[in-house]
Amino acid sequence: MKVNAFEVASRYVYPSLRRRLVEHLRGRGLKQTEIAELLHVTQSAVSRYLNMDRGALIDVSKFREIDDELRTLAEEIAEFRPSEYDIHMRLIGIALKMLGKGYVCSFHAKIDPEVNPVECRVCIELFG
């Protein structure tokens, strides 16, 4: 295994979750500058998420349970304006749930041909 689960989570899963969160906030009619302020990121980062230049390798929307959690988080962010640490903690929790349910295994195998998703149960056992 050349690319471990933590690398997959930090380089691919987390950015994909943030991209989808940005999409949900945009769907609420918020402007890029408003989204950036709420998420404690730059407007440029929001633009890259929306233009699929960042976080586009995993389509989080196909995992209904995860997408519903992100939609709920977007609503909470818009209403309560949590700190960047609270948002980060929630996103990490959602990322761990994705790993624990095995949603990322086939993607991991695509970026690292040495990974055999049939044999590897690391994420499912650690985070499931």
Neighbours of 62 (CB within 10 A): 9
And the tokens for 119? 């044999």
Burial class of residue 55 in the structure, from the number of CB atoms within 10 Å of its CB (0-12 exposed, 13-18 middle, 19+ buried): buried
Residues 114-117: contacts with CB under 8 Å, at least 24 apart: 114/1, 114/2, 115/1, 115/3
Residues with Cβ within 8 Å of 74's Cβ and at least 6 positions away in sequence, in order, are 21, 24, 25, 27, 28
With the C-alpha atoms ordered 61, 63, 68, 69, is the resulting torsion angle positive or negative? negative
Q: State yes or no: pLDDT of 1 exceeds 90.
A: no
Q: State yes or no: pLDDT of 99 exceeds 90.
A: yes
> What integer pLDDT is reported at residue 106 of this predicted model?
94
Mind listing the pLDDT tens digit for each residue in 23-72? 999 999 999 999 999 999 999 999 999 999 999 999 999 999 999 999 99
The pTM for the full model equals 0.96
Query: Is the CB of residue 24 less than 8 Å from the CB of residue 71?
Result: yes
> What integer pLDDT is reported at residue 48 of this predicted model?
98
Rounded to whole angstroms, how far apart are CA atoms 122 and 57?
22
